[in-house]
Every structure is written in structure tokens, then in C-alpha cells.
Amino acid sequence: MYFAVFLSALALSATTFALDNGLMRTPPMGWLAWERFRCDIDCTDDPKNCISEDLFIDMADRLSEDGWRELGYVYVNIDDCWSSKQRDEKGRLQADPKRFPGGIPKLSRYLHDRGLKLGIYGDMGTLTCGGYPGTPLDKIEIDAQTFADWEVDMFKFDGCYSNETVQEKGYPLMSKALNATGRPIGYSCSWPAYQGGLPPKVNYTQLGEICNLWRNYGDIQDSWGSVVSIVDWFFDNQEVLIPAAGPGRWNDPDMLIIGDFALSMDQSRSQMALWAIMAAPLFMSNDLRTISSGARSILQNKMVISINQDPLGIQGRRILKEKSNIQVFWRPLSDGASALVFFSRRSDMPYRYKTSLKKLNYTTGSYKVYDVFTDKTTTLKDSTDFVVSVNPSGVVMWHVSAPAKLNQRHFDRRGNAMESVFGGDENAIPRVFL
């Protein structure tokens, strides 16, 4: 018997390799440089608006002083264009000394002292997408060790200038190498985005075993059209993507562009709501020094964050695409609660959408409904028709409690309910995990 257990354990360890870093049980949150600051390395007249130590220190200050960190936004992630064009004499990657005079260790110390975490970027090929030194197969171990020595907390591994065969070896190898350093480092893989994002090319079971999150699709840009194309791709392919996600392993539809130049307030609420439904990583790419109070309050909305961070970690789905161009999204949450998003793809005027919870597949019961962006609470029976007014390219987002149970005291002796009543407080408070 013991021998059999021993044998099967041996077989398991030989055939499977799991990323056992225990990280990112809920989607990671923080700030990422790429979408807003790109590969701007010209620091001559404005050292705080280029990829430099100053920029990351400024963002760390904002995260820790403006209430972001307490809400969960703890990662400060460097993207491409941080390194020198040459490796050092020992073959290690090195930060550009002009733009990062203290090197990466200074930055990671600065962040850790403030309860924040540092993310860094590399690429599986000969060069990064921006033309900086890549991490080909023979450099994987040394680079993983360098990041661990610098006390990096997260690593994004891009796929430019590599091919299918190399990626197939490289992404699992890097996972092993990061694990072998003994430092917990969250691992973000761009691999599926380079394979078209779908099976049979993409093996989501394997990804869940080797990566904590992965980019499935193209890069987000600062436009509403870009947000919509990402949303459509993710929900058109939800049957494939939903089972791939869960605690420790997340689909990544890319950064939040709220607070940048393109989105209206309604569109910003839509991105936030839909990223929460998708259980997506929440990496803002914006300028936290100059962000408007409107954008900030959307990004700091506790209930949306709490829905995004629900501990069950079940990715939500699109449940309806109406002819009226209203779409309805739903995500199951812990304790029998759920989130609903009514999203308007119209371009005329606010649309009054009429439905009931029953029509949205809710079971019989009375529900406490909390409107995430207006803070209004109502009680709704499943069968009661209601109307939500949804702005063009905007959303209405609800947190819906578990249904209240039938109250035992209102049964007669034969067990028949004497009146249609639903019990007291068990579903009264929306659960906020903050």
C-alpha cells in the first residue's frame, strides 16, 4: 500500500510540474508602465516622464500616499526598455545606468519599504519587443537568478523575436527557474497571445500549471475601440477562457487605461466593471500624479474591487446579447452572491432596459441589490420587473446578494408556507473584502 502511494507520487512528480509559488490567489493589482509611458527613454528635458527610476519612485509615492495600496494596488511594474543594450561582464542583464542610477535593487528596496512590490519585464526571444536584450533559452537560469537577487516580485515574459519551438521550451523552463530561486515571483506569460489565444494551439491546463497570469490577446491602446475589441474577444471565447481561470491563474485582458486620454467617465466605468466581471488583473497604466478625481474614484471603487477580488476566483460570463444592443454579464461570487453588469453598445441616448432577475436565471427569492456606482440599495423579488437606464457605452453594475431563505416561523404545521416571506438579515450586507 505504502509502496503504491510512493510509486504514484513518484509518477505524479515526474509527469507534472506545478507553479507552487502560492501567489496571486486573487487577481494581482497595481501599476504598469507600458500603455502610458511606452519606450520613452528620452529623459533629457523631462526625467520624470520617461522610463526612469524617478518615474517609478513617483508612482510608488502616489500608490502609498493616495490610498491605492490599501485597496490592493501594490505592484509597481517596469515594462520594456529598462535595460542597457549590453549584458554585464558576467552575462547578467543590467539596468541602464543613466536612467536607473541606483539600479533595480534600489527601486525594489524603495518599494518594499513602503509595502509595495516590484515587477519587471523580459522576453523569451533574442530581443525584447522594443529591441533590448532578450532572454533566450541559455539565459533563462541566470536571468531568473538575477531577478531573485534584485528581490523582484513579479516577472512578465514577452515573446517577441522567438518561435513556437523555443516558446514551448522557454515558458515552462522559466517557470522552473523562477521556482528554483526560492523567491516567490509571480509569473506573467505572454505565450498564448503569440499562439492566437485559443486551443488547440494554446494549452490552458498547462498554462495554469506554469504561470500565474497570461496575456491571451493583443495590446490595449488608449482608445475605446481597443477596449471594445478586447471585451468582444474575451466574451466571444468565454467557454474556453472561463475554465482556465481560478485562484493563482488568471486570463489577462491587459491594462486599465482609465485616467488616460481616450475614455469618457462612462467608458471608464465600463472598463472597470467588465474587468471585474472577467476576474482580470487590475494593472493601471496612467499617470497617478495628475489623474482626475473622476477617474480616481472609479479605480478606487471598493465594491468593484471587491467583486474583482472575490476569493472564489470564478471568471464571469456574458449571458445576453439583446437586439437593443444591451449586453448583460454575470459573475458568481462567494456566499451565494453575484455581480451583474448591464452594458450599452448603443450610441444614441440612455436606454431603459426592462427585465427581471428571473429572466436573468436567478432562482426564486428576494435579493438585496446594491448599485456599485450610485451606492443605492434596493430589494427585489426574482419575479419583479425592473428598469435600468444605461448610458451609451456605459454600464450599470450591481452586486446581488444571495437569495433570502424562507423564514421557518412562517410555516404552518403541515409545512406549507403561510405567506410569501423572505427572512431577515442573512443577505443584507454586500460583502466587501477590503
- The interface mask with ligand GLA, positions 175-204, x = CB under 6 A, is ---------------x--------------
**Does 158 contact ligand GLA by CB under 6 A?**
yes
Of the ranges 13-21, 128-136, 205-213, 276-284, which one interacts with ligand GLA (CB under 6 A)? 128-136
Nearest CB to ligand GLA, comparing residues 143 and 310:
143
CB of 188 to ligand GLA, least distance (A): 10
Residue nearer to ligand GLA on the CB measure, 159 or 394: 159
Selected binder of ligand GLA within 51, 129, 242, 303 (CB under 6 A): 129
Applying CB under 6 A, among 28, 130, 170, 208 the residue interacting with ligand GLA is: 130
Nearest-angstrom CA–CA distance, 61 and 70: 13
Other C-beta atoms lying within 10 Å of the C-beta of residue 360: 16
CB of 78 to ligand GLA, least distance (A): 10
Is 219 considered catalytic here? yes
Quickly count: other Cβ atoms within 10 Å of residue 223's Cβ.
15
CA distances in angstroms from 280 to 28, 104, 118, 300, listed in the order given = 8, 27, 19, 16
* Helix or strand run (H / E) with residue 225: helix 224-236
Find the part of the chain contacting ligand GLA (CB under 6 A) among 59-67, 127-135, 179-187, 421-429. 127-135
H-only helix segments in 245-395: 265-277, 293-299, 302-308
> Would you say 380 and 391 are in contact if contact means Cβ atoms under 8 Å apart?
no
User: 75-77 and 117-123: which strand pairing?
Assistant: parallel
Query: Which span (40-48, 64-72, 122-130, 363-371) binds ligand GLA, by CB under 6 A?
Result: 122-130
Distance of alpha carbon 132 from the chain centroid: 26
How far CA 176 is from CA of 19, 67, 124, 125, 180, in Å, comes to 8, 36, 14, 18, 6
Per-residue H/E/C for 52-101: CHHHHHHHHHHHHHCCHHHHCCCEEECCCCCECCCCCCCCCCCECCCCCC
For residues 338 and 277, is the Cβ–Cβ distance under 8 A?
no
Q: How far is the CB of 406 from ligand GLA (least distance, A)?
A: 51
Stretch in the footprint of ligand GLA (CB under 6 A) among 82-90, 126-134, 178-186, 280-288:
126-134
Q: What is the contact mask toward ligand GLA in residues 65 to 104, using x (rule: CB under 6 A)?
A: --------------xx------------------------
Q: Please state the closest distance from residue 253 (CB atom) to ligand GLA, in A.
A: 12
Catalytic residue among 96, 143, 153, 158: 158
Nearest of 150, 35, 21, 33 to residue 88 by alpha carbon? 150
Q: Does residue 214 belong to the site contacting ligand GLA (CB under 6 A)?
A: no
Our answer to whether residue 158 is catalytic in this structure is: yes
219 sits near ligand GLA (criterion: CB under 6 A): yes
Q: CA–CA separation, 190 vs 122, rounded Å?
A: 10
Length of the chain: 434
157 touches ligand GLA (CB under 6 A): no
Question: Is 28 a binder of ligand GLA (CB under 6 A)?
Answer: no
Applying CB under 6 A, does 143 fall inside the site for ligand GLA? Answer: no
Choice between 80 and 96, CB closer to ligand GLA: 80
Residue among 40, 58, 66, 219 flagged as catalytic: 219
**Residue 34 within binding range of ligand GLA, rule CB under 6 A:** yes
Q: For the residues of 118-143, what is the DSSP string, one character each?
A: EEEEEESSSB-TTSSB---GGGHHHH
Which residues have a catalytic role annotated?
158, 219
Interface contacts to ligand GLA, rule CB under 6 A = 34, 79-80, 128-130, 158, 190, 219
